[in-house]
Chains A and B, each alone.
Chain A
């Protein structure tokens, strides 16, 4: 097997090493360089970029990003759990309901984000309706704020929460639920004491699957936050475009990667889950 195996692994190993690990390695080298006058970079070698990552200004952005991601993730859990429960108990129509959750995922993410711009902007549908109904006179500032970003993230990643939750709920033996009710538990008690604990693996998977992309999100804060709500993704992008500070941008990028990896390793080690 060894020769064939080496042959089979060669393309993906080459791709992974050359186009994934090497680029990250280059960023790592960049973090120790000094920014030049015209956006270039070079000697002397320095740790200054890493020190700057810990600057209160940038730590603030990091904290705000973590908060936005955490709030969005929890909202996804709260909104997604009842839906997953509903689907897991839907009997023969399960597949249809599941398909309806996955369907938006097959729609372009960009279009889904644009749909909210279309609804929320000053001349958007919601404001137009509110004004013509005489409820408000001036358009409400619905777009380009923190709330709009969280809304966009929840909308974008809700399916990622529902799927693992559904998978976990689906696996629960219905005899356990019957036993609980036969022994006199109220449905809410069964939900809290039997269903919730048994769905823990799904909850954990859902939290990871939603939190990680939310933390590094760029498109949603950019389009729905409108540059006023700077999150870490926007900060990184700015360093490589307008600010032209590649060394610092690289340091922020790798700090973000490190945060994601630590999170993943802690959860994987505690529970032995793995994505692959």
Chain B
């Protein structure tokens, strides 16, 4: 079966997928403020790096993403292992439901929940509420990825460990967990990028001291064209790209 024009179509499709980002990144080096090319300059990068609000937001985003990833990866891996051993219908359904819940609904329900809890205890919205929200929406992704990995694994190794006198915990910790490494790493990478990128839910549950990078970007983007956004975008794209590449290498070796 040979279909003519398929290769040509693919070129167009890849152009559609990548050109907008490429153009955005190219104009981060434009010395002019407007979308007319005026020469190469790094002034928008300088402006971005000198903006203390942006730096603070980036730091917040990193702290939140690392914390949420660690918690979600731990809870999700344990959960996937338990589900692999024996199905738990309602939990699987609840996790699936959390995957398909529109972000805006999840954000608002979490806000309602936090306000309801905080009415009883005098606590406020802040980094901790953002981390909790992120763990919640990252959990199902971790479970999916780790469970998929477990299902491709041979469980006779673990059975052998049990037969040879290992306890259940030992069999998990010394046999199955090490073999799960790449799966957990992939799940953690996914959780990290989703958390680092989230705007909708974060903007609902963030407090005054927990503004994240997407929140700042969103605020600037809504105000209109600003080449600083291009510069920040370029840095994020390159950083995330490197992260993905490094992890691919890591997985191959």
Contact = CB atoms under 8 A, between A and B. Distances in A.
Interface of A: 1, 4-5, 7-9, 11-13, 15-16, 19-24, 26-27, 30, 79, 82-83, 85-87, 89, 97, 100-101, 103-104, 106-112, 114-119, 121, 123-125, 128, 132, 155, 158-159, 177, 180-181, 187-188, 190-191, 195, 212-213, 215-219, 223, 233, 236-237, 240, 246, 249-250, 253-254, 256-257, 260-261, 264, 274-276
A9 B79 contact: yes
Contacts of B110: 19, 23
B24 A83 contact: no
Given A9-B78, A16-B139, A115-B21, A108 B91 contact: no
Given A19-B113, A219-B199, A253-B109, A233 B104 contact: yes
A165 B186 CA distance: 22
Nearest to B227: A118
Interface string B232-243: 010011001100
B35 A125 contact: yes
Given A19-B136, A256-B105, A260-B100, 16 more contacts: A1-B85, A4-B172, A12-B78, A16-B94, A19-B110, A23-B113, A86-B13, A103-B244, A108-B240, A121-B225, A125-B35, A128-B34, A177-B1, A188-B3, A237-B108, A276-B92
A110 B199 contact: yes
B75 A11 contact: yes
Contacts of B17: 100-101, 103-104, 155, 158-159
Interface string B161-203: 0000000110010000000000000000000010011011000
Interface residues of B, number: 84
B225 A118 contact: yes
Nearest to A246: B112
A31 B100 CA distance: 21
B67 interface: no
Contacts of B221: 110, 114, 117, 223
Contacts of B200: 218-219
Contacts, number: 246
A218 B139 contact: no
Contacts of A187: 1-3
Query: Which of the listed residues B75, B99, B103, B144 has the most CB atoms from chain A within 10 Å of its own CB?
Result: B75
B102 A111 contact: no
B120 to A, nearest CB: 13
Contacts of B99: 275
A119 B108 contact: no
A97 B10 contact: yes
B79 A125 contact: no
Nearest to A26: B112
Given A9-B82, A115-B24, A155-B20, A240 B102 contact: no
A24 B109 contact: yes
B136 A20 contact: yes
B102 A106 contact: no
A16 B1 contact: no
B179 to A, nearest CB: 17
Contacts of A89: 6
Contact of B168 (A4, A13, A87, A111): A4
A12 B230 CA distance: 38
Contact of B96 (A22, A106, A128, A276): A276
Contacts of A107: 21, 236-237, 240-241
Contacts of A237: 104, 108
A190 B2 CA distance: 10
B76 to A, nearest CB: 7
B246 interface: no
Nearest to A185: B1
Contacts of B113: 19, 22-23, 26
Contacts of B111: 240
